[in-house]
Amino acid sequence: MNDMAQKRTMQAQNDTFADRLKNLRAQAGLSQDELADRAEISKTILSRYERGVSEPKRSTMLKLAEALDCSTELLSGMGLEDAMRVPVALQVPKRLYDRIKREADQQEVSVETKIFGLIDAAYTARDEQAESIAQARTVIEGALTVMEVLKEIEKDHPGSIKTARERQESNR
């Protein structure tokens, strides 16, 4: 990483997202209109980001980073080590590359941006699935605990626990 890029990275770590966005836009010599056009977002939305009113979704963050020629890590304020881009060479089957390229063209983004988006979506889906599994596990553990408590009550007070069907039959 050259000295200028390292300086940009170190400075960006200590700012808010809005500050980093404004600084990186200024360093790139772009007006709000120019950045908005390059990132394919409205000037109003860009202005909201720069004023700190809101922050972009991951897909918009990718577009902004590409338009500013920086990493999403730098834009989002990750650490110096995280902000360094690591070149990766992939050998992708032609059929898969053609599909990614076609989708990237339809979305008017680069193939790299599309691949990053797909990877991010896969990680997000995995994390959401893991969270759902953890929630299900908690519910099951809670139900098992309730069953254990009910067994103890029934053991200490036989006949005190009745099923809904038993209660209906006794009420008739």
- Please indicate, yes or no, whether residues 97 and 170 belong to a single structural domain of this protein: yes
- Please indicate, yes or no, whether residues 106 and 161 belong to a single structural domain of this protein: yes
Q: What is the CATH number of the domain that holds 55?
A: 1.10.260.40
- Please indicate, yes or no, whether residues 58 and 115 belong to a single structural domain of this protein: no
Domain boundary among 87, 112, 129: 87
- DSSP of 115-145: HHHHHHHHHHHHHHHHHHHHHHHHHHHHHHH
- Please indicate, yes or no, whether residues 114 and 145 belong to a single structural domain of this protein: yes
- Please indicate, yes or no, whether residues 122 and 56 belong to a single structural domain of this protein: no
What is the pTM assigned to this prediction?
0.42
pLDDT in tens, 105-115: 888 777 877 88
pLDDT in tens, 12-67: 445 788 988 998 998 889 999 999 999 999 999 999 999 999 889 888 988 998 99
The total number of structural domains in the chain stands at: 2
CA distances from 123 to 51, 88, 117, 130 (A): 30, 18, 10, 10
pLDDT in tens, 85-130: 566 677 888 898 899 889 988 887 778 778 888 888 888 888 888 8
User: Is the per-residue pLDDT at 166 higher than 80?
Assistant: no
Distance CA 33, CA 79 (A): 29
The range of the structural domain enclosing residue 108 comes to 92-172
- Please indicate, yes or no, whether residues 7 and 48 belong to a single structural domain of this protein: yes
